[in-house]
Amino acid sequence: MSAASAPSRPRVGLFATCLVDLIRPSIGFAAAKLIEQAGCEVVVPPQTCCGQPAFNNGDRATARDLALQAIDAFQGVDYVVAPSGSCAGQLKKHVPELFAGEPDLSRRADAFAAKVFELVTFLVDVRGMTSVPARFDGVVTYHDSCAGLRELGVKAQPRRLLESVQGLTIAEMKDPDVCCGFGGTFAVKYGEISDAIVAKKTDNVVAAGAGTLLAGDLGCLMNMAGKLQRQGRPVRARHVAEVLAGMGEEPAIGEPTRGE
Amino acid sequence: MTAHFTSPAFKENAHQALHDPALQRALGNVESGFIAKRRKAADKLPEFEALRDSARDIKNHTLAHLDLYLEAYEARVTAAGGQVHFAPTAEDASKIVVDICRRVGARTVAKGKSMISEEIELNAHLEAAGVKPIETDLGEYIIQLRGERPSHIVAPVIHLNRDQIESDFRRVHRDLPPERDLHAPESLLAEARGVLRQKFLAADVGITGANFLVAETGTSIIVTNEGNGDLSQTLPRVHIVLASIEKLVPTLEDASQMLRVLARSATGQEISVYTTFSTGPRRPGDVDGPEEYHVVLLDNGRSAMLGGEFREMLRCIRCAACMNHCPVYHAVGGHAYGWVYPGPMGSVLSPSLIGVDKAGQLPNASTFCGRCESVCPVRIPLPKLMRHWREREFERHLSPATVRSGLKLWGFFARRPRLYRLATRAGMGALALLGRGKGRFRTLPFAGGWTATRDFAAPEGGTFQAQWAARKERA
């Protein structure tokens, strides 16, 4: 790994995101594998949270502390890549807002934000990846998570890579770009409304006729998977990185882990 | 402030709305109706995105020089023989209107659609003064028959189904033959028109809102699809325009640019059926028009917004595209928001007008999906402004205690990476053990809002950071 030289082999700091770190580490490994396939070295600096829950609940002080912590932790890397449009959006779009008008901090925040990318856009737009050497036998449908779609323009890139997966067919659902009702703490604070929104989403997912639901954000996926499972609907949910990395045979979100 | 609102009970309102089958049926029309029409209208116009920029810039410029344009507007209205009344508060505005009605001995008032009238609760004030307000917009007329409030700023009765309206008409229009066929929506419109026509002729005063006020000419502009606004302002002896101060635009050219984005964003029309300009009372030689022309300009907290972080909200042209595209509005409808302005624009505006202590639920009840901002014709960053309200609430300790303590606990660990790694490793290990049979939980403490209706995935076990470190050590 250390054999390759720096310029041709950029150093990527993987920002796993707290949900992936805590709930589904396999997404982190899938992301790392893809970043390596894109010709980069992967490092995982000590990290916690991007600060979005604090930021979106009005707690700017905590959001600032966590932003500075991330800026420090990822100082020595060429890129910061997160398998989440939501967390990448926080780091890329909102961290600079937190320090607007403070020249020194603002410069650091801007330089940091310029290095941040959502995983799939990094692979396609930055590294020029057009295909992946993966196989997945089945029909999938892809949900466009809101922050990735509207803050970072994640839309065509995941579909392009998915089309290169052997054996995979994409069946688009109705309104793939409409919110699933997750919204972070919204899903708990306004659980009843969140549920009404996700129920429409799972209807669309099922109507698409796919066996697997993919998306680029674990929060949205847990929401949709949790609803599908409670409804007893046999659609399995995974992060898009799992399929792209050829790890689509592992237990899906909310399924028991193997061998236990 | 006498505003009547149920915004603090947003959650309870939403609960009721979610369990109201008729409402849920009606709300389906929001998604199926407005969204595709707007998309089609926007796609047909290659310069639509550039027009949105231009609309934003026109409003920004106007707001930056609002004092100047207000003075210029007043001077032109006065020169045309009209009178401008500045109303600092909702009470002031109602009082000005009621006083005019009293002075001219008005018994009935014909009203065009006006959200400002809702904001200042004008109908209640008129009735208290013995003046009968008659809503002439079909939707507002139905609302008035039902004793309700509009649930949408463009389509006031979007929460109703056709059959509900038919039964209202049969209940109220007693002098019409009971066997008449009211099945087609057009027949409802025709019946309302017939009933209203007589009332237009009898009205002493006509009140309209304004979509734009033009500083250059002293003109007020309204757009309607029924033509009721024209009749409201030309038939009665006295015409009162009721508008808030941010309706100003500098010139007629600016107004025509704004009109190009308004109807497309609102209903997907290229232009509304009627666009009506009014400037002053009837002049010698005019064939029609009112004898008196008044403009009541409402502030009601808006000038205070000019200098602060909610200034961008004053660009709003009330097209309703934000609520038409909002998943929360689709789920609960407009009445749940509990005051005059529903949806994302209301979630930003209402706390400014009635106080964040009363309307604080509204900016919190958003997933921040950003679809509202993506369609706003004047590019108001609605999620950002809702977040500003959450910041104010947090600073003032108005956020719910559970949210505050949860964030505090999370923040404590998240600020201490080493402790975080230890704690999460242990915590996730334990949760993984608990959930390993099924791979998910059907109930979880502190997450009842989630697990009441959805399963919650159990952790795989072992954090990513711990597993990654272990792998690196082995390598």
Six-digit token string for B49: 């995105």
Substitution target in B368, B431, B438, B474 with the highest count of A β-carbons within 10 Å is: B368
* B360 inside domain: no
**Contact B373/B383 with Cβ under 8 angstroms?**
yes
If asked whether residues B285 and B407 sit together in one domain, one would say: no
Amino acid making up residue B157: V
Q: Cβ contact (<8 Å) for A73 and B437?
A: no
Substitution target in A47, A81, A179, A222 with the highest count of B β-carbons within 10 Å is: A179
Shortest Cα–Cα distance, A196 to chain B (Å) = 6
Q: Of B134, B128, B130, B144, whose CA–CA distance to B201 is shortest?
A: B134
ipTM here: 0.95
Q: Cβ contact (<8 Å) for A56 and B368?
A: yes
> How many CB atoms within 10 Å of residue B322?
27
If asked whether residues A94 and A147 sit together in one domain, one would say: no
| Pairing, β A166-170 against β A212-215 | unpaired
Q: Cβ contact (<8 Å) for B453 and A254?
A: no
If asked whether residues A107 and A163 sit together in one domain, one would say: no
Q: What is the SS3 assignment for A80?
A: strand
Contacts of B331 in chain A (CB under 8 A): 193, 196-197
* A256 inside domain: no
If asked whether residues A22 and A119 sit together in one domain, one would say: yes
Question: Which of A73, A107, A125 is where one domain is finished?
Answer: A125
Q: Cβ contact (<8 Å) for A254 and B455?
A: yes
Rounded to two decimals, what is the model's pTM?
0.96
If asked whether residues A55 and A159 sit together in one domain, one would say: no
Between B49 and B288, the higher pLDDT residue: B49
Question: Which residue in A has a C-alpha nearest to residue B36's C-alpha?
Answer: A175
pLDDT at B163: 94
Shortest Cα–Cα distance, B68 to chain A (Å) = 29
* A24 inside domain: yes
* B364 inside domain: no
Residues within 8 A of B (CB atoms), A 165-184 only: 178-179, 181-184
Which residues, other chains included, contact A15 with Cβ-Cβ below 8 Å and sequence gap of 6+?
A: A47, A50, A70, A74, A80, A81, A82, A87, A88, A91, A116
Count up the domains in chain B and report the number. 2
If asked whether residues B283 and B432 sit together in one domain, one would say: no
Which residues, other chains included, contact B375 with Cβ-Cβ below 8 Å and sequence gap of 6+?
A: B38, B265, B321, B322, B324, B325
pLDDT at B401: 86
**Contact A124/A130 with Cβ under 8 angstroms?**
yes
Q: Cβ contact (<8 Å) for A181 and B365?
A: no
Q: What is the CA radius of gyration of chain B?
A: 26
Question: Which of A107, A125, A143 is where one domain is finished?
Answer: A125
- A81-137 pLDDT, tens digit each: 999 999 999 999 999 999 999 999 999 999 999 999 999 999 999 999 999 999 999
Helix (H) or strand (E) holding A12: strand A11-14
Contacts of A60 in chain B (CB under 8 A): 391, 394
If asked whether residues A153 and A79 sit together in one domain, one would say: no
Q: Cβ contact (<8 Å) for B331 and A178?
A: no
Q: Of B246, B267, B371, whose CA–CA distance to B315 is shortest?
A: B246
Chain centroid to CA B331: how far?
A: 16
If asked whether residues A120 and A203 sit together in one domain, one would say: no
Q: Cβ contact (<8 Å) for A254 and B440?
A: yes
* A200 inside domain: yes
Domain hosting residue B429, numbered range: 401-474
Q: Cβ contact (<8 Å) for A62 and B390?
A: no
Shortest Cα–Cα distance, B381 to chain A (Å) = 12
Shortest Cα–Cα distance, A29 to chain B (Å) = 8
- Residue among A69, A197, A255 whose CB faces B331 most closely: A197
> How many CB atoms within 10 Å of residue B199?
18
Q: Work out the widest C-alpha separation in chain A, in whole angstroms.
A: 54
Question: Which of B287, B303, B319 is where one domain is finished?
Answer: B303
pLDDT at A259: 54
* A258 inside domain: no
Six-digit token string for B456: 């919650």
A13 shares contact with chain B (CB less than 8 Å): no
Q: Of A70, A63, A48, A77, whose CA–CA distance to B465 is shortest?
A: A48
Q: Find the length of chain B.
A: 475
If asked whether residues B290 and B413 sit together in one domain, one would say: no
A194 shares contact with chain B (CB less than 8 Å): yes
Q: How many CA atoms lie within 13 A of B311 on its CB side?
A: 13
If asked whether residues A115 and A199 sit together in one domain, one would say: no
| Residue range B46-65: mean pLDDT, rounded | 98
How many Å from the N-terminal Cα to the C-terminal Cα in chain A? 33
| Residue range B86-113: mean pLDDT, rounded | 97
* A164 inside domain: yes
A2 shares contact with chain B (CB less than 8 Å): no
Judge whether residue A260 has pLDDT over 70: no
If asked whether residues B296 and B417 sit together in one domain, one would say: no
Judge whether residue B232 has pLDDT over 90: no
pLDDT at B3: 64
Contacts of A27 in chain B (CB under 8 A): 464
Amino acid making up residue B235: L
Backbone angles phi, psi at B420, to 5 degrees: -60, -45
pLDDT at A69: 97
Backbone angles phi, psi at A19, to 5 degrees: -65, -45
* B448 inside domain: yes
Question: Which of B303, B338, B359 is where one domain is finished?
Answer: B303
Residues within 8 A of B (CB atoms), A 30-89 only: 32, 44, 46-49, 51, 53-60, 62, 65-66, 69, 73
If asked whether residues A108 and A150 sit together in one domain, one would say: no
- Residue among A18, A62, A186 whose CB faces B367 most closely: A186
If asked whether residues A89 and A139 sit together in one domain, one would say: no
- Give me the total of CB pairs closer than 8 Å, taking one residue from chain A and one from chain B: 221
If asked whether residues A105 and A138 sit together in one domain, one would say: no
Question: Which of B303, B329, B348 is where one domain is finished?
Answer: B303
If asked whether residues B295 and B432 sit together in one domain, one would say: no
The CATH number assigned to the domain holding A26 equals 3.40.50
Q: Cβ contact (<8 Å) for A21 and B424?
A: yes
Q: Of A135, A237, A10, whose CA–CA distance to B455 is shortest?
A: A237
| Rounded-to-integer distance, Cα A172 and Cα A207, Å | 10
If asked whether residues A146 and A183 sit together in one domain, one would say: yes
Judge whether residue B181 has pLDDT over 80: yes
Question: Which residue in A has a C-alpha nearest to residue B402's C-alpha?
Answer: A189
If asked whether residues A153 and A104 sit together in one domain, one would say: no
The model's confidence at residue A7, banded by pLDDT at 50, 70 and 90, is low
If asked whether residues B55 and B172 sit together in one domain, one would say: yes
| Residue range B169-195: mean pLDDT, rounded | 93
Question: Which of A95, A125, A155 is where one domain is finished?
Answer: A125
Shortest Cα–Cα distance, B386 to chain A (Å) = 9
The CATH number assigned to the domain holding A143 equals 3.40.50.11810
> In chain B, pLDDT over 90 holds for what percent of residues?
84
Q: Cβ contact (<8 Å) for A183 and B440?
A: no
| Rounded-to-integer distance, Cα A67 and Cα A11, Å | 20
* B68 inside domain: yes
| Rounded-to-integer distance, Cα B215 and Cα A114, Å | 44
Q: Cβ contact (<8 Å) for A57 and B373?
A: no
SS (H, E, C) B102-132: HHCCCCEEEECCCHHHHHCCHHHHHHHCCCE
| Rounded-to-integer distance, Cα B231 and Cα B293, Å | 15
* B33 inside domain: no
If asked whether residues B161 and B280 sit together in one domain, one would say: yes
The model's confidence at residue A5, banded by pLDDT at 50, 70 and 90, is very low
Question: Which residue in A has a C-alpha nearest to residue B390's C-alpha?
Answer: A58
**Contact B207/B258 with Cβ under 8 angstroms?**
no
Q: What is the SS3 assignment for A142?
A: strand
> How many CB atoms within 10 Å of residue B272?
19
The CATH number assigned to the domain holding B268 equals 3.40.50.10420
| Residue range B415-426: mean pLDDT, rounded | 92
* A1 inside domain: no
Shortest Cα–Cα distance, A219 to chain B (Å) = 10
Contacts of B32 in chain A (CB under 8 A): none
Q: Cβ contact (<8 Å) for B328 and A56?
A: no
| Rounded-to-integer distance, Cα B458 and Cα A23, Å | 7
SS (H, E, C) chain B: CCCCCCHHHHHHHHHHHHCCHHHHHHHHHHHHHHHHHHHHHHHCCCCHHHHHHHHHHHHHHHHHCHHHHHHHHHHHHHHCCCEEEEECCHHHHHHHHHHHHHHCCCCEEEECCCHHHHHCCHHHHHHHCCCEEEECCHHHHHHHHHCCCCCCCCCCCCCCCHHHHHHHHHHHCCCCCCCCCCCCHHHHHHHHHHHHHHHHHHCCEEEECCCEEECCCCEEEEEECCCHHHHHHHCCCEEEEEEEHHHEECCHHHHHHHHHHHHHHHCCCCCCCEEEEECCCCCCCCCCCCCEEEEEEECCCHHHHHCCCCHHHHHCCCCCHHHHCCHHHHHHCCHHHCCCCCHHHHHHHHHHHHCHHHHCHHHHCCCCCCHHHHHCCCCCCHHHHHHHHHHHHHHCCCCCHHHHHHHHHHHHHHCCHHHHHHHHHHHHHHHHHHHCCCCEECCCCCCHHHHCCCCEECCCCCCHHHHHHHHHHHC
Contacts of A201 in chain B (CB under 8 A): none
Six-digit token string for A212: 């697997």
| Residue range A27-47: mean pLDDT, rounded | 98
Amino acid making up residue A182: F
Count up the domains in chain A and report the number. 2
Judge whether residue B1 has pLDDT over 70: no
Q: Of B365, B372, B371, B364, whose CA–CA distance to B345 is shortest?
A: B372
Question: Which residue in B has a C-alpha nearest to residue A238's C-alpha?
Answer: B457
Amino acid making up residue B165: I
Contacts of B440 in chain A (CB under 8 A): 226, 229, 254-255
To the nearest whole number, what is the mean pLDDT of chain B?
94
- Residue among A22, A46, A194 whose CB faces B424 most closely: A22
If asked whether residues B84 and B217 sit together in one domain, one would say: yes
Contacts of A226 in chain B (CB under 8 A): 440, 450, 454-457
Tell me the CA distances in angstroms from B244 to A196, A212, B71, B212, one per residue in order. Answer: 36, 51, 14, 10
Q: Cβ contact (<8 Å) for A16 and B15?
A: no
| Rounded-to-integer distance, Cα B366 and Cα B361, Å | 9
Contacts of A94 in chain B (CB under 8 A): none
Which residues, other chains included, contact B388 with Cβ-Cβ below 8 Å and sequence gap of 6+?
A: B309, B310
Judge whether residue A57 has pLDDT over 60: yes
The partner residues of B135 in beta bridges, in order of sequence, read B111
Domain hosting residue A103, numbered range: 11-125
| Residue range A148-164: mean pLDDT, rounded | 98
